[in-house]
Structure 1
Amino acid sequence: MTTTTPLTIGILSFAHTHAASYARILSAMPDVEVLGTDPGPYDPGTVRGAGFAAEHGVTYVEDVASLLAKAPDAVVICAENTAHRELTELATVAGAHVLCEKPLATSDTDAAAMVAAADASGVILMTAYPVRFASAFTDLVARVRAGQLGEIYSILGTNNGKMPLAQRSWFTDPTRSGGGALVDHVVHVADLIDALLGEPAQEVHAVTNRILRADAGVGVETGGVVSVRYPSGVIATIDCSWSQPESAPTWGGLTLEVHGTAGSVRIDPFAAHVSGYDAGGELWAGFGADLDARMIDEFLDAVRTGRAPQPDGAVGARTLAVVTAAQRSVASGLPVPL
């Protein structure tokens, strides 16, 4: 009979939209006890705090210190981006392994401090990039490694979604998010390219605008294009706009096109779905593997076995560096070396 080590996992904040998915996955595991705390602030009309915990089968704890005092084996950080460093440092001092929502931080200094804190405490720091676990992407990596596409020379990535104004407006508040569409969407594509090429970015050039939903007075970029050059000569372009309308049946999607001297491949990890209409309007329901669940499985297996999971904190820091370079490029109007 195969058994797994029981674990206690804490969720630090329910601010991020993915907190609901992580809570659902973890609370369904018979060998995992899930604790949660959510200090706020809350956007009006959102279910947060103890109400969110009750709705998702999570045992609620009043504050971060009290949760960490219960000595969880690991924590999942779903707080606003600017709170990631503080929560990571508190968790690592308490000896808890950390899965942190993306982006890892909002500055390169904070990201480096988070990696250092995990190393100093001898705990895991993993960055939450679920698309890394899509079968379409792992197949693409295998084809590139086998040389089926020849020498890679260009990559085109898109990550377009709805503007998070209604229930998670902190995404559009730079004091809590660190930026807009650049921060929210570039990192996912940068992670896939990082895994695919195995080399850090060398130079970044970015442009942004705030045309989308200008009527709402959004104080961050809502559309952007980022060009990234790598040491091997590969040039990648990332469209990171919040361009999906509120009426769209789904949040958005991510695609990746890879072009080489012997062929090209395009993947669309969220394409598998059924759609239609009912009395309420258009329907969209995805099917296939739950990428969040695959990522959680990777993290928990690493916690139980002591191995290093991927994508780790170093990946989170490298992909954040693409974003911070893009922000500097927007400010200067010039390409920025890394």
Structure 2
Amino acid sequence: MKWGLIGASNIAKTCVIGAIRAVGDEVVSVLSSDEGRVQQYAQDNDINHYTNDIDQLLSNPTVEAVYISTKNNLHKEQALLAIAAGKHVMCEKPLALTVEDAKQMVDAAEKAGVVFATNHHLRNAATHTALRRAIQAGEIGKPLAARVFHAVSLPPHLQGWRIEHAADGGGVILDITVHDADTLRYVLGDDPVEVTALTQTGEMSKTGAPDSVMGVIRFKSGLLAQFHDSFTAKYSQTGLEIIGTEGTLVARDVMTQRPVGEIELINAEGSRKLALEHHNLYETGFRQFSKAVADHSQPAATGLDGIWSLATGIAVVEAAATGKTVPVSV
């Protein structure tokens, strides 16, 4: 499959271009509104064609699919243009800034008959798949509670709009909490129904976009999930714990792009490590996307998955702003 990149982004450079090539696909064009930046980006990443005109990229008959990694407020317009041009779409999270906009994107793709995916790469990790399988196998009985530790240090080259421009979709919630929501949905096979949250602002952000958040999500089953997300934790390890009636799963160093981490299962039989075969998360996602195009199956994370994570993130934003428990509306 031949791909066009909408956005000359760091994530595309460090993770996505290599994944696309590793699964046997090709990057044939890249778009950025900054003509100087896109020319240098294409040269640095061995991409033959570049443009600052989205119509030019989308009218290229060799481009079969696009990967969108621009600012969050641009996703909707760019995705709808790509869908109208008959291109398959892999869009970064969050899909948009409102649930209504995200639904419009997903509905348009369905009507056009193109594959639409959300790049929730964490669900592609061997660790999260192992957690999901252990829960489905009844290893910990009925899941009752979960705890997500997703506090990291946002490096300077990724800061910019993510911490300064809330109107563009910046802030820790739409950047990280949406990942927590998707990971929990995938691992638990359960959907969120309401949230409470408090935010912290000022350790990194100077304009009001929250740089840390803590909260609780209630799921349909009744399970309660704590989460802590931050841009300001320089020396913290990520993790995910699932506590059940008959045991606990403790996953360490797993809320990360890297294929690492370990899982300990603790139950009446004692404690043991789960066997894991780590693999590149992005390669797994793009391989599944190509398969979905070829045989009309589902990508690793669908548009509906993206709607759920966005709706949860938006509910967390509202809960933190109002001090109220807010329903997750999909």
Question: Secondary structure at the residue paired with 2:111?
Answer: helix
1:282 alignment counterpart: none
Render the CA deviation track for 1:171-203: whole Å, top value 9, x for unaligned.
123356413011110111111111123332111
Question: Secondary structure at the residue paired with 1:17?
Answer: helix
1:267 alignment counterpart: 251
1:309 alignment counterpart: 299
Moved more, 264-273 or 86-95: 264-273
Q: In the alignment, does 2:329 pair up with 1:335? A: no
Distance in 2 (CA, whole Å) between partners of 1:51 and 1:288 is 33
Moved more, 24-33 or 102-111: 24-33
2:50 alignment counterpart: 61
Kept after mapping to 2: 8 A contact 1:226/1:238: yes
Render the CA deviation track for 1:25-44: whole Å, top value 9, x for unaligned.
32456552431111149xxx
Deviation at 1:48, TM superposition (A): 3.6
**1:104 maps to amino acid:** L
Question: Secondary structure at the residue paired with 1:224?
Answer: strand
Distance in 2 (CA, whole Å) between partners of 1:83 and 1:26 is 23
Q: Any gaps of 5 or more consecutive residues in structure 2?
A: 262-276
- Label 1:126 to 1:240 Cα distance change in 2 as closer, same or farther (>3 A): same
Of residues 293, 296, 305, the one that matches 2:286 is 296
- Label 1:126 to 1:253 Cα distance change in 2 as closer, same or farther (>3 A): farther
> What count of residue pairs does the alignment treat as equivalent?
307
**2:67 maps to amino acid:** V
Deviation at 1:15, TM superposition (A): 3.2
Percent of counterpart pairs with the same letter?
27
Kept after mapping to 1: 8 A contact 2:6/2:70: yes
1:8 alignment counterpart: 2
2:86 alignment counterpart: 95
Q: Any gaps of 5 or more consecutive residues in structure 1?
A: 1-6, 42-46, 274-286
Distance in 1 (CA, whole Å) between partners of 2:143 and 2:122 is 21
Deviation at 1:211, TM superposition (A): 3.5
Question: Secondary structure at the residue paired with 2:74?
Answer: helix
- Label 1:325 to 1:213 Cα distance change in 2 as closer, same or farther (>3 A): same
The TM-score with structure 1 as length reference comes to 0.84
Q: In the alignment, does 2:24 pair up with 1:21? A: no
User: Superposition pairs for residues 44-193 of structure 1, below 5 Å?
Assistant: 48-62=37-51, 63-71=53-61, 72-175=63-166, 177-193=168-184
Deviation at 1:106, TM superposition (A): 1.6
- Label 1:231 to 1:244 Cα distance change in 2 as closer, same or farther (>3 A): same
Kept after mapping to 2: 8 A contact 1:82/1:175: no
- Label 1:160 to 1:146 Cα distance change in 2 as closer, same or farther (>3 A): same
**2:296 maps to amino acid:** G
- Label 1:321 to 1:31 Cα distance change in 2 as closer, same or farther (>3 A): closer
The TM-score with structure 2 as length reference comes to 0.86
Deviation at 1:119, TM superposition (A): 1.1
Distance in 2 (CA, whole Å) between partners of 1:16 and 1:324 is 25
Question: Secondary structure at the residue paired with 1:85?
Answer: helix
Kept after mapping to 2: 8 A contact 1:80/1:176: no
Kept after mapping to 1: 8 A contact 2:198/2:214: yes
Kept after mapping to 1: 8 A contact 2:42/2:48: yes
